[in-house]
Homo-oligomer: A and B are copies of this chain.
């Protein structure tokens, strides 16, 4: 019983620490930042496919997208952050918090294609990279369509 009480108190303590450091505003700012970093890296891959192809840059870009895709950004969708100000007002739709099954599906598809993108980038096969870039872009769109308000 005493152990359980300590565990409960400890867990309250942890929540307090977490709340002190990860405020709703920070959570919104950090997730907006994650998407912005991915937008940069998608843009870079696109520029490489349209212009001079630099394998090392494409690998670095794909690795960055992959790491963010696997970083657990879902934890930044704290209760109550369906609205609020990060860098700017969040554009998340209410559905992201309610449609758990649908979100899991688009998140899984995105992770799969992001992991495949990093693998294909490392191969240096230009046609495969083009194909995979298209597939990855579709999974970004899949989430934007359902869970993000347009500009």
Contacts and interface: CB of A to CB of B under 8 A. Distances in A.
Interface of A: 10, 13-14, 17-18, 21-22, 26, 29-30, 32-34, 36-37, 39-41, 43, 46-47, 50-52, 57, 60-61, 63-64, 66-68, 70-72, 76, 87-88
27 contacts: A10-B51, A13-B51, A14-B47, A14-B51, A14-B52, A18-B51, A21-B43, A21-B47, A29-B36, A30-B36, A30-B40, A32-B33, A32-B87, A33-B33, A33-B34, A33-B36, A33-B40, A34-B37, A34-B40, A60-B71, A60-B72, A61-B71, A63-B71, A66-B67, A67-B67, A67-B68, A87-B88
A17 B43 CA distance: 11
B72 A57 contact: yes
Count the copies.
2
Contacts of A29: 36
